[in-house]
Amino acid sequence: MKHLFCDVCKKEVLDPIPSRTFFHVREFDLCEACRDDLESAVKNTVRMKKPFDFMWYDKLRVDLIQEGIKKNKIVLAKTHS
């Protein structure tokens, strides 16, 4: 039996199934909740980036994950209404 823990929130992922209950982003393993938070944080930032650049996008995701590891959660960007 494999025990898998989210690198961000440190919670155990029960019955880990790749791309369903846990997700690999480069060298990091994320639970579904943290991956959803990461996608939301990236989405809010990407909307303002022109022109789009994949190197920048990859660095943004890794930076958000590394910041999330320090705080035990992915910090969502504030949206301006």
| Token pair for 14 | 């029960």
pLDDT at 47: 82
**Number of structural domains the chain divides into:** 1
Q: What is the pTM of this model?
A: 0.83
Residue 76 lies in a domain: no
pLDDT at 80: 44
Residue 50 lies in a domain: yes
What is the pLDDT averaged over residues 47-74? 91
Q: How far is CA 50 from the centre of its chain?
A: 22
Under the banding of pLDDT at 50, 70 and 90, the label for residue 31 is: very high
What is the pLDDT averaged over residues 46-55? 84
- Which helix (H) or strand (E) element contains residue 30? strand 28-31
Range of the domain at 11: 4-71
Residue 78 lies in a domain: no
